[in-house]
Structure 1
């Protein structure tokens, strides 16, 4: 007879594998859209909406698969150790989206001024002052963020961190509940370690359900933050930001696998791992 929990875990991993494949495909589409000489903002916005819709659909599927086995998402077996160490309530911190924009803005601004000081000519000066288009071959870069955009991003950052802190407190409370009645006390009085009874099973089921609710709320915050960010940015900036996010997601996946492969080889072992940092 098949174990229903193993079937659920397979469904969860299949859902994740589909998501990773979609991430790679969307990354290619975003790169191609940004590399075009003529930037069609309408087409870019359509692609951006599709990317947001992808994440919304993925979050909905995660919520469905996590109703009784949500703990799988808090330390996925299909993840590398590196990725699991970076998880916040089953995915990335929503505020990391904003930190990525700040990092891109600083990097692209530094690149412009480096070109200016290296070449010391009028064309480079114009680029440094933002009077010509960015490094992507036409259209704005993150170094072209306006004062109004920066103000809105800062407001979003403060709001997001406040919401994160609230969810982190809820997560801490759920962790503390495991040493409360009946789970912690039952474990103390049990003669045989590992034995459970109906009361404990019900408490653990309730804990899984609460964790599933927390995961859904965290995914909702991730989606809201992502949506609000792309609304603040121009079409080109938003596409550039989403591309960077997907490249980072896939890179962490591959870096984690490479590190574990080297570790296994150093120990004289073998094997491979999967990966997830959800986000978007």
Structure 2
């Protein structure tokens, strides 16, 4: 059953203060704590649905609430990034393992789709013909041929949009060397040279715009996926996604402790 989530982000201006980094870290910690709570709620909903004690309407309400919480987190990031965007690209509140898989401040949207493939327990792309013939493989809610076609089409679209954003990131990373740093290098006496903050501020503004667009693509991908799968599949999917995110954090902390003890 397809369903849509029409949640529009609200933009707000945030004044700069000495606690901006703390606000960013607190937002992340609050979000991760919320992942634990939502995972329990989603797992409970799956268990009840399998006993026919939770209907599609109730499952859709849970999905909508979960997506809305994600949108609230994205909105908070956007407001704080307008003040200081750099930490979102290499957050000190994440472990090195978590940072090693970041793409423009978060997960790659295409990884949302690959999770569906993993839940099915197969390489979807190489077995697409079998799905079209009605052969059901894996435990992820018996995906049908029509769903697989839609997911495959979505993957192609999202990867193309990812590449465009990655290309823009590469250009911005090159620009910061070509413009601000080069100007400072030429003007040893910065008091007599041009104000080096101006190009850096312009660069930060562009990086904040890019982060916002990447978050929008993440939101778009999630909503498209939940519009393709059934309510119970959506709940199972979100539960799996949250388990993976929490495990990644735990693995990162464990690796840090191991390296610290060596």
Measured against the shorter chain, the TM-score band is: 0.7 to 0.9
CA RMSD of aligned residues (A): 2.3
State the alpha-carbon separation in 2 of the partners of residues 96 and 236 from structure 1. Answer: 20
Q: How many residues align?
A: 234
- TM-score, normalisation: structure 1: 0.78
Q: Where in structure 1 are there 5+ consecutive unaligned residues?
A: 110-128, 135-140, 267-280
**Counterparts in 2 of 1:78-117, with a 5 A limit?**
78-106=93-121
The one of 240, 246, 249 aligned to 1:244: 240
Helix, strand or coil at the partner of 1:180: helix
Deviations for 1:152-182, whole angstroms, at most 9, x for unmatched residues? Answer: 000110110011011001111100101223x
State the alpha-carbon separation in 2 of the partners of residues 57 and 196 from structure 1. Answer: 45
- Tell me what 1:257 maps to: 253
1:216 aligns with 2:196: no
- Tell me what 1:185 maps to: 182
State the alpha-carbon separation in 1 of the partners of residues 216 and 90 from structure 2. Answer: 19
Q: 1:217 to 1:130 in 2, by over 3 A?
A: closer
Conserved? CA contact 1:90–1:215, under 8 Å: yes
Task: Tell me which structure has the larger Cα radius of gyration.
Answer: 1
- Tell me what 1:155 maps to: 153
Q: 1:144 to 1:69 in 2, by over 3 A?
A: same
- Tell me what 2:55 maps to: 40
State the alpha-carbon separation in 1 of the partners of residues 200 and 145 from structure 2. Answer: 50
**Counterparts in 2 of 1:1-280, with a 5 A limit?**
6-36=18-48, 37-38=51-52, 39-106=54-121, 141-142=139-140, 144-181=142-179, 183-191=180-188, 199-266=195-262
Conserved? CA contact 2:95–2:252, under 8 Å: yes
Conserved? CA contact 1:95–1:161, under 8 Å: yes
- TM-score, normalisation: structure 2: 0.83
State the alpha-carbon separation in 1 of the partners of residues 220 and 160 from structure 2. Answer: 14
Q: 1:83 to 1:5 in 2, by over 3 A?
A: farther
